[in-house]
Amino acid sequence: MGVLLGESHDSDGFARAPQPGDGAGGVAPLGVPAWVWALVALLVGVALSIWLAQGQQQRVDARRHAELQAAADSIAAAVGDRLRTCEMLARSVQSLFLASAEVEPGEFDHLYENLRPRERFPSLQAVAYAERGPDGRYVTTLVAPAAGNAAVLGLDVAAQPANLAALLASRDSDQPVLSETFRLLQHHSAGLTGEGVTLRLPIFHPGPPPRSMAERRERIRGSIAISFNVASLIEDSLPYDSTGPVFHTTVADVTSGSPKLLFDSHPHAHEDAGPGTTRTIAFGGRDWQVRLHPPEQAFAGADGLQSVLWPGLLASALFALLVWSVLTSRRRALEQGWRMSRRYRESEERFRVLNDLLPALVLLARSDDGGITYLNQASRLRLGETAGDLRLSSLFGDRKLGARVQAGELADGSPSEAMLVSANRDSFWASISTARVDVGGEDMLLMVATDISEQRQLTELLGYQASHDALTDLYNRREFERRVERVLRAVSTGGPPATLLYMDLDQFKLINDTSGHIAGDQLLIQLATMMREQLDGDGVLLARLGGDEFGVLTPHDAVQAREVAERLRRHIDGYVFVWEQRTYTVSVSIGGVALDHPGLAFKDVLAQADTACYMAKESGRNRVHFYSASDDETARRHGEMEWANRLRWAVAEQRLVLMYQEVRPLSGASEGPYVELLLRFRDQHGRLVLPGAFLPAAERYGLMPMIDRWVIRTVLSNFDRLHPGGERLKLATINLSGASIEDESLVDLILELLQAHRVAPERVCFEITETVAVRNLSQVARFLGRLRDAGCKLALDDFGAGMSSFGYLKNLPVDIIKIDGSFIRDLLSDPMSYAIVRAVTDIGHQRGLVVIAEWVSGSEVMAALARIGVDYAQGFGLHQPEPIPLHHRPARSGTALGGAGGE
């Protein structure tokens, strides 16, 4: 190209004028015809263009394949998450049946309304319960929601073989089981198309969990079914753009070996449009195969306007013509030389313009020193106008990699990823290919690069979202579990110890209830930011485990970890949250577990941390508690779990016992016996156990409403046999727990039993504690108001021991207040206790209430109480509790366990 055109030379090197014989058909350099040189130039250009186009197509194919793989993982995970959500819904319904031996339709509907499953599971059709009859058939007795599912009630599950097969499989395995697809009864009655499936969970009769298949078949009581439209469930999990599903997705049930199509997003598409990928979802005893194909046009090749092939072919043709033109111009006159030079320069410029149109970055560098000699327009725009002054190796963020590229070690044309740095020090990721080329006899390095920063950012974003909580930007529970399990494996192989902290905010529900969930979310964000600042630089992993629970994994021993926990607790305790002119103080309870010996499992470690956190809350909240196997408090909590199992056993074995304690008038006059009913538990050795041993477990594990119902049924069905006085019994007091107050259907049960057993309502008194009353004042007032309207008496127990506010008496429809025994115990020795008893008595009488003193120990205290004006006295010093004079039978197995009272 550097040869002066338009001249020929003799052998002595002097220029001569063109000869008449010279022309287009003349002989070119080296004696080779001009058309051969032109053809060689064309072939080289075409080969280079095809090579560049293939590289570009490979990168496009790789990117699309990666998108297809990521989409397959996302869809399979989304379908699996929805199935697990369905399982959690079934578990929630199962817990209702485990807690109550008989579930009424109203309770079933209330549970469904509280769970609001269709907000998270739009494809849900119905939640149903099929009860096993004496003949072994399973007939549906409960269904929610009622709308659209009326046809399901009374359905014999045997009429649907696939449904029955899932029911029997779940019964034998005590695990959730998915059925084969079949047409749902609701679809048939409504004339709809499409098939559905059911998720089945068994319900067993009360008792210890069955251990064998024979025991499960013997104790099966019924089955829970969650039915949903399988096509809708899968369709809700697909990614969409403005034209519909992004990928051609099919899902088939391959459990039996022969695929059964469940869903096809593009029924008329061809599956061989491009390479596909599959994922298998194993859940509920079934295997669903998810298969993805790109749209038919996705793998048709790079867009013609964006491909480097056509500009390259055009440039090759022009270059070949240029070579031919140069080699055939010898017959032109010397005076035309300047014109030929100009035309040559114009052709070269056109070639450069065409090369500049390529979207890829094209660079040419000397192989000896790496000096850059050429950059196309895309390179100048991305790397900077001054990039031509740099060495090839200086364009790489990794200096060692840049040196290898400049040395030609990677000049095999294969693509690789590297971080490139522009002249103004901006960095970006690119897919690069390098090759050695000969330019004018000089060895050069040709590098072609494509910016893939956006693709890498998308991949990193997807990875970040998979491991971080969307609200607080902390690590999520899945990533936290993965990190803890990695530490446990390291500890098992002799690695350094670590510590796990489990954090639960105190009274977080109060903020959600008073200011809304938006306020609660904002508090979590602010606390996450504050905790991240406190833990920065300590090598500590902070994660949000869900709700208001956080986890911390520290690379410290228990002593250093306790310092970290205390630092977090102090900063959270001193944090003031302001929301819409309201201020809240926040505190946290923290449980810790040392990860310092091999053999630990994650589920056991998390359970221990949760136990320690619970102990911190039980000890008064806003404190740190580390788990210890010998910890008396921890042992007590495990004891509560044992008590919960024993209480369920007590109902089945008729071990609950009712006793009565008389309440004596201080005036001396009595219109008939007045008693308070107390609950005891008879253990396997025949000994009576006081309620203080088992009631905490009943309250913690949600058994109190069951106990209260048992007591109410037993008392009202045997009312005239509760006391030796028989029908002379004036008043009997029944204690109610806080959990029962929240169940408004209990009032309907009480009124029904009063009428059924013909018990006068004015002879029955229901008693609650002060702390229960003020927990939800409006709900308690509404609950008690209905009982009082029916004629029942109402008593407020432990008055003065809780919030100690006389203002509550204005809003609670009570007839009796019972002064807390701690004041009566110190009545004769503590002037303050005496003044409090007098004040409560005076205010109670002003409100027209009967005042009762608890824990009365003897005649001196009774005399003092009589002088103050207290109406009644109760205590072990006056009357020891006695069994009620009847051999009462516990309520039928469909009722629950129930409340206790007394000193």
Can you tell me the distance from the alpha carbon of 292 to that of 275, in angstroms, rounded to the nearest whole number?
9
Rounded to 5°, angle at Cα 438 from 437 and 442? 125
Q: Is a pLDDT exceeding 50 seen at residue 26?
A: no
Give Cα 217 distance to the centre of its chain. Answer: 34
Q: Check: CB of residue 103 under 8 Å from CB of residue 142.
A: yes
Beta-strand ranges (E) seen in 666-758 are 674-682, 688-689, 731-735
Which H helix or E strand runs over 440? none
Q: Specify the amino acid at residue 574.
A: G
Residue 411 or residue 659, greater confidence: 659
pLDDT for the residue numbered 300 = 47
Inter-CA distances, 143 with 122, 127, 189, 232, 284, Å: 17, 6, 16, 21, 22
Kindly calculate the radius of gyration of the chain based on its CA atoms and give it in whole angstroms. 42
Cβ distance 162 to 180 under 8 Å?
yes
pLDDT at 190 over 50: yes
Least Cα distance to 292 among 462, 465, 79 occurs for 79
The pLDDT value given to residue 355? 67
pLDDT number for residue 14: 34
139 and 133 Cβ atoms separated by less than 8 Å:
yes
- Identify the pLDDT of residue 871: 93
| 307 closest CA partner among 45, 44, 43, 60 | 60
Spatial separation of the C-alpha atoms in residues 693 and 697, rounded to whole Å: 8
Ordered alpha helix ranges (H), 496-598 = 508-515, 517-535, 558-573
Rounded distance between C-alpha atoms, residue 793 and residue 818, angstroms:
13
Structure confidence by residue, pLDDT tens digits, 677-730: 998 877 777 778 777 667 776 776 677 888 889 899 999 999 999 999 888 899
Distance (Å, whole) CA 531 – CA 549: 13
Residues 186/148, Cβ–Cβ less than 8 Å: yes
Residue position matching structure tokens 């009576």: 688
pLDDT at 893: 34
User: Rounded to a whole number, what is the distance in angstroms from the first to the last CA of the chain?
Assistant: 111
Phi, psi of 410 (to 5 degrees): -110, 20
Q: How far is Cα 622 from Cα 606, in angstroms, rounded to an integer?
A: 20
Question: Residue 660: phi, psi to the nearest 5?
Answer: -125, 150
What phi, psi does 669 have (nearest 5°)? -90, 140
Tell me: the pLDDT tens digits for 327-363?
666 545 545 656 666 676 666 676 667 666 777 888 8
pLDDT at residue 35, as a whole number = 81
Asked whether residue 465 carries a pLDDT value surpassing 80, the answer given is no
Which pTM does this prediction carry? Answer: 0.36
Average model confidence (pLDDT) for the chain? 81
Q: Is 449 helix (H, G, I), strand (E, B) or coil?
A: strand
Give 266's contacts (C-beta < 8 A, 6+ positions apart).
245, 248, 249, 295
DSSP 181: P
Q: Which helix (H) or strand (E) holds 434?
A: strand 427-439
Q: In b/e form, how buried is each residue of 554-581, taking b as 16+ CB within 10 angstroms?
A: bbbebeebbebbeebbeebeebebebee
CA distance 723 to 658: 11
